Amino acid sequence: MAMKKRKNTVKNSKRRTVKKAKKTKKTAVKKEKKIIIDTNKLLRLEEARKYVIDVAGEKGLEVFEFLIAKGEMEENLLAKKLKFEKANAIRKFLYRLYNKNLVSYRKIRKNNKAWYTYFWSANPEKLVFIIREMYEEEIKQTKKSMELNKAEDFYVCDICNRRYDINEALQNDFRCKNDGGVLTHIESGKVLEDKQSRIDFLNKKLNELKQLVK
């Protein structure tokens, strides 16, 4: 429906198209925030934990999990609860998480004081999105390499290792043109089978991920 709307706007004026496009984007972001995630299950997913640890370390995962459990929290209180010596020490982890959009903050100036108070919250839906993209990308790459493998179904000479495609091998009665060596069929079937089961596995994972989102 959004597409239809945008098309109509193109007819009217270009400037309005830009405005509309921006508006659509904003709405999409808002919608994303309303998503409810089964965070208990999410945090039990090995890939999800591994991703957060890669981004912000074990301590970063601890911060992320704590924010998910407790909801938005003021920075100093968060540091205290997680037994960081100073609020500064926790910032390193918060910023790493923030760089990947896994957390966000609000800053508030209280009673006209010179400094801001920061309130942090976790974005578990972003983690779901990232993991989903990882799975989808691997599926795409695996499918691509399966296509290549199909094309590479070949025969090879026992002696000189020269490669032949099926037609060439047939023409030469499965003997090498150079040295008469026997041409052996290289099984790409097994490779393809393995790749297919990886795709099946990833699709299963994707389904599990979808079930986390309500």
Q: How far is the CB of 181 from Zn ion (least distance, A)?
A: 4
What distance in Å separates the CA atoms of residue 183 and residue 176, rounded to the nearest whole number? 6
160 binds Zn ion (CB under 5 A): yes
Q: Which is nearer to Zn ion, 184 or 211 (CB)?
A: 184
What distance in Å separates the CA atoms of residue 51 and residue 101, rounded to the nearest whole number? 13
Task: Specify burial of residue 108 (Cβ count, 10 A radius: 0-12, 13-18, 19+).
Answer: exposed
User: By rule CB under 5 A, what string of x and - marks binding of each residue 120-159 to Zn ion?
Assistant: -------------------------------------x-x
Q: How far is the CB of 125 from Zn ion (least distance, A)?
A: 58
Distance of CA 146 to the CA centre of its chain: 21
Give which of 72, 34, 25, 26 is closest to 214, Cα–Cα: 34
Residues near Zn ion (CB under 5 A), total: 8
Q: What are phi and psi of 182, to 5 degrees?
A: -75, 135
Q: Which is nearer to Zn ion, 158 or 194 (CB)?
A: 158
User: By rule CB under 5 A, what string of x and - marks binding of each residue 177-206 to Zn ion?
Assistant: -xx-x-------------------------
Site residues (vs Zn ion, CB under 5 A): 157, 159-160, 162, 176, 178-179, 181
